[in-house]
Amino acid sequence: MTTGTVHVVGAGLAGLSAATILAERGERVVVSEAAAQAGGRCRSYFDPQLGMTIDNGNHLVLSGNRAVQAYLKRLGASDRLAGPDKAEFAFFDLNDGARWLMRPSDGRIPWWVFQPSRRVPGTKAIDYAVLASFLSGHPGKRMDEVIRTAGPLWRRMLKPVMLAVLNTAPEEGSMDLAGAVVRESLALGGLASRPRIAAPTLAAAFVEPAVDYLKAKGVELRLRRSLKAIEAGEGRARALQFTGETVALGEGDRVILAVAPAPARDLLPGLAVPSDFRAIVNGHFALPQGFDWTRHPAMTGLIGGVAEWVFVFHDRISVTVSAADRLVDDDREALARRLWADVAQTLGLGAAPLPAWQIVKEKRATFAATPAVDALRPHARAPGLANLVLAGDWTQTGLPATIEGALRSGETAAGLV
Query: What CATH number is associated with residue 227?
Result: 3.50.50.60
Residues 262 and 397 in one domain: yes
Residues 133 and 214 in one domain: no
Quote the number of domains for the chain: 3
Residues 121 and 186 in one domain: yes
pTM greater than 0.85 (yes/no) = yes
pLDDT band per the 50, 70, 90 thresholds, residue 283: very high
Percent pLDDT > 70 in the chain is 100
Work out the number of other CB atoms within 10 angstroms of the CB of residue 221: 19
Strand ranges (DSSP E) for 277-394?
Answer: 277-286, 299-303, 309-312, 316-321, 357-367, 388-390
Residues 265 and 389 in one domain: yes
Work out the number of other CB atoms within 10 angstroms of the CB of residue 78: 15
Q: What is the pLDDT of residue 77?
A: 97
Indicate if the pLDDT at residue 149 is higher than 80. Answer: yes
Rounded (10°) angle between helices 66-75 and 403-416: 70
Residue after which a domain boundary falls, among 131, 165, 193 = 193
Average pLDDT over residues 53-71: 95
Indicate if the pLDDT at residue 282 is higher than 80. Answer: yes
Cα separation, 123 vs 116, in Å, equals: 8
Residues 34 and 151 in one domain: no
Compute the mean pLDDT over every residue in the chain, rounded to the nearest whole number. 97
Does 55 fall in a domain?
no
Instruction: Identify the H or E element spanning 341.
Output: helix 332-346
Residue after which a domain boundary falls, among 193, 223, 245 = 193
Domain carrying residue 283:
277-367
Q: What is the pLDDT of residue 382?
A: 87
Residues 95 and 135 in one domain: yes
Query: DSSP assignment of 265-277, as one string?
Result: HHHSTT------E
Residue after which a domain boundary falls, among 152, 169, 193 = 193
Cα separation, 214 vs 6, in Å, equals: 13
CA 372 to chain centroid: 20
